[in-house]
């Protein structure tokens, strides 16, 4: 069997002009994961990431002590939530945020999360198409293809890390577990920053053996670092 660990990126810079970078908290979360793996003697054959900055930086922090080069794969990029939210705002359908606060980036986290969830449900249901971006079936399809292609290319008895985002992890778990589109989206909302989701696979099957684990953050003094956003 081979093992593939899906790691969500560390906390990004929510509420700033550049969301797509790790915050100081995000860097610490990933460093603690790296140190946890060093302490437990974990080693990997390859480390992959999506092409987004927050995904690549997460992978680079982990790879630094593994003597590995990060390989980027766009199949593991997150969907464009900003585009979906702007489309929803243009339709006058925002329920928990004003269009002005969204445009200015003045976002209260709980209100933003509620709006993101409502927007995601509209996207999965086909009421939003992300303009020229991806539909939900296109997004789920590319995640599934990326996962299968990676497993096929890496082959047997491998230990792999893929640093990616919550939506990708939700879609990947749904592919493995044959879950519905709505279940895939709901799973993604539960994924912690820097968490580990473990898949084990061979030529015949893929199994989910751990989901959303944060052993590196569950010790006293670190629990305040368990975040969703």
First to last CA, the chain: 33
Q: Helices (DSSP H) in the chain: which residue ranges?
A: 24-39, 53-63, 81-90, 99-104, 109-124, 136-154, 166-177, 181-188
Cβ atoms 42, 55 nearer than 8 A = no
Model confidence pLDDT, tens digit, residues 39-67: 999 999 999 999 999 999 999 999 999 99
Model confidence pLDDT, tens digit, residues 200-209: 999 889 999 9
Distance of CA 33 to CAs 37, 64, 65, 226, Å? 6, 12, 12, 12
Query: Exposure of 114 by Cβ count < 10 A (0-12 exposed, 13-18 middle, 19+ buried)?
Result: middle
Supply the mean pLDDT for the chain. Answer: 92
Query: What is the pTM (predicted TM-score) of this model?
Result: 0.94
């Amino acid at each position: 069997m081979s093992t593939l660990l899906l790691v969500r990126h560390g906390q990004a810079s929510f509420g700033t002009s550049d969301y797509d970078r790790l915050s100081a908290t995000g860097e610490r979360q990933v460093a603690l994961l790296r140190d946890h793996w060093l302490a437990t003697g974990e080693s990997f054959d390859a480390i992959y990431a999506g092409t987004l900055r927050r995904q690549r930086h997460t992978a680079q922090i982990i790879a630094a002590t593994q003597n590995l080069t990060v390989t980027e794969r766009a199949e593991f990029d997150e969907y464009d939530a900003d585009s979906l939210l702007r489309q929803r705002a243009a339709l006058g359908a925002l329920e928990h945020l004003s269009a002005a606060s969204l445009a200015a980036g003045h976002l209260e986290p709980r209100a933003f999360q509620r709006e993101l969830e409502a927007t995601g449900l509209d996207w999965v249901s086909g009421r939003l198409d992300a303009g020229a971006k991806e539909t939900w079936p296109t997004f789920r399809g590319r995640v599934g293809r990326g996962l299968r292609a990676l497993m096929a290319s890496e082959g047997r008895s491998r230990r792999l890390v893929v640093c990616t985002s919550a939506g990708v992890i939700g879609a990947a778990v749904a592919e493995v577990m044959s879950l519905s589109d709505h279940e895939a989206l709901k799973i993604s909302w539960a994924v912690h920053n820097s968490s580990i989701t473990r898949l084990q696979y061979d030529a015949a099957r893929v199994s989910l053996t751990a989901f959303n684990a944060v052993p590196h953050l569950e010790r006293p003094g670190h629990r305040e670092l368990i975040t969703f956003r």
